[in-house]
Amino acid sequence: MNAVLSTLPDTAPYQRLAKLGLTLPELPRPIGNFATHVQEGGLIYLSGQGPTHEDGRLHTGKVGRDVSVAEAYEHARLTGLNLLAVLHEALGDLGRVRRVVKLLGMVNATPDFSDHPAVINGCSDLFVAVFGEAGKHARSAVGFGSLPRQITVEIEAIVAVS
């Protein structure tokens, strides 16, 4: 069992993660001079995360050329898991999430790629599975010519908390 998982509160989001066969990874480290999150009042702003594994491996490449939509969906799901790790670190309990308000999903895509929403659904589907109705959110899914370290996706979030 993951050391982080053994210290998690016994609340619905963690139970749902366990049912999905997922564990929260260690907190991803920022790659620049910024905070992983900032809380202002009842909102927490999560800095962009990418498809990074705990061992530091990154998923890279252009969606639509090097990476399929199905692969990029899984990369967005992994990115969502990294966002949840940041949220857990910030709040101490994912049960404090009142609602996922907004996601901005960025896809490192070829100029003619047009299925950005299907990619970012990897993160959106995860958030709905973990938080239920409170996981449904407003969202933008857009394409970029490049992303840091050539990662396939980057996603940031705004979350309402109690």
Using H for helix, E for strand and C for coil, what is the string for 63-108? ECCCECHHHHHHHHHHHHHHHHHHHHHHHCCHHHEEEEEEEEEEEE
Write down the pLDDT at residue 65: 98
What is the pTM assigned to this prediction?
0.93
Question: Residue 16 contacts by C-beta under 8 Å, 6 or more apart in sequence?
Answer: 129, 130, 131, 132
1 vs 4: CA distance, rounded Å: 8
CA separation (Å) from 46 to 2, 84, 157? Answer: 23, 10, 5
How does pLDDT run across 109-159, given as a tens digit for each residue? 999 999 999 999 999 999 999 999 999 999 999 999 999 999 999 999 999
Cα torsion for 25, 26, 27, 32, to the nearest 10°?
-100
Q: Which residue has the tokens 């927490």?
A: 44
Name the more confident of 127 and 26. Answer: 127
11 vs 46: CA distance, rounded Å: 21
Mean pLDDT, the chain, integer: 93
How does pLDDT run across 39-49, given as a tens digit for each residue? 999 999 999 99
Residue 16 host element (H or E)? helix 12-19
Identify the CA nearest to 5 among candidates 30, 34, 26. Answer: 26
Write down the pLDDT at residue 27: 84
Residue 4 confidence (pLDDT) above 50: no
pLDDT level of residue 9 (50, 70, 90 thresholds): low
Question: Residue 6 contacts by C-beta under 8 Å, 6 or more apart in sequence?
Answer: none
